[in-house]
Amino acid sequence: MPTVTYLADGSHHKEVQAALEKLLDAFGFDVNSRGPHVLGSVFQKTQFRLRKALTSDQITERLLKIERGIELQLVGKAQADVDALQGDAVAKLLTALKDEPTALIQIGSLLLIKADGVPVVRNLTQEELRYLERNPRLLEQPASILRRLAEASQPQPALPPANVS
């Protein structure tokens, strides 16, 4: 499970990384490998792996639970069906991001963006994931990534037929 972390400031990188690892640990993931840490602003890729084999549907279900947990923390609602460990892990990740005005964390198809202090969570489509693979620099642009993804998913106008003479 690849993740990407971008923090414009980076002064809270250790807290954010620890909270991210705790969140994924709560869902059965361990750190498999870490990419290099870029100084200044932070841009780091981390590879997580499941402790046990799961089907694609089970992995999707876990990512949806993570997304739901983040959404619950963002709107401040508690629900009885949210497991305390998972809810606590999500809360710690958001708390770790509290002093970061600009951040981006991608966990598989889940995208958490914080731009101008406002966090947004959404699931990426397969098309958007492919677009980000072709344009990885977008992961360093939390303020504009949603607009760019929306533009990329717009149908392209058909080209007129070539004039063959």
Name the residue ranges covered by the structural domains of the chain: 2-153
What is d(CA 17, CA 48) in angstroms, rounded to the nearest whole number? 12
- Report the alpha-carbon distance of residue 75 to residue 70 in Å, rounded: 9
In whole angstroms, what is the distance from residue 65 CA to residue 27 CA? 9
Residue 24's SS3 state is: helix
111-162 confidence digits (pLDDT tens): 889 988 888 888 888 889 899 999 999 998 988 998 999 888 877 666 666 6
Confidence (pLDDT) at 109: 82
Higher-confidence residue of 87 and 19: namely 19
Q: What is the pLDDT of residue 81?
A: 47
Q: What angle do CA 80, 125, 135 make, to 5 degrees?
A: 125
pLDDT tens sequence across 14-51: 898 898 888 888 888 888 888 877 766 667 788 888 88
